[in-house]
Amino acid sequence: MSIAIAARFARRELRGGLKGFTIFLSCLALGVAAIAAVGSVRTAIETGLSVEGAALLGGDAELDFTYRFANAQEKEWMQSRANAVSEIAEFRSMAVVDNGDQTERGLTQVKA
């Protein structure tokens, strides 16, 4: 589309009055404000996580041992490099409830 055709379309739109143009400008301003608000919230969240991330997550590092606990040598290594060490045990299980004539089962996940 050439500039002449675009200018002709713009003139035809403005002949109808500025009411439609005002609505267009309002929508444009609202869209720009929404995009700016999302960017501002994103920046605030990123800043908050970088400053308070260790406190929110419970530490600066995580070591994950599958199906076992840390042995004495591994615990000693962690304690030599950290201010505080905490342990979490997590496992899946099945809960069974016997209601006399009916048994109900459900999968559970335990984190302690």
pLDDT one-digit tens code per residue, 83-109: 788 888 888 899 999 888 899 999 999
pLDDT value of position 88? 83
The pLDDT of residue 38: 96
Mean pLDDT of 25-46: 93
CA distance 103 to 24: 64
Q: What is the pLDDT of residue 1?
A: 64
Question: What pTM, to 2 d.p., does this model score?
Answer: 0.40
Q: Where are the domains of the chain?
A: 1-58
Question: Once rounded to an integer, what is the mean pLDDT over residues 3-29?
Answer: 79
Please state the rounded mean pLDDT for residues 25-29: 86
Model pLDDT, residue 82: 82
Give which of 107, 73, 70, 65 is closest to 90, Cα–Cα.
Answer: 65
Q: What per-residue confidence (pLDDT) applies to 55?
A: 72
pLDDT at 58 exceeding the cut of 70: no
Inter-residue contact 86 to 58 (CB < 8 Å):
yes
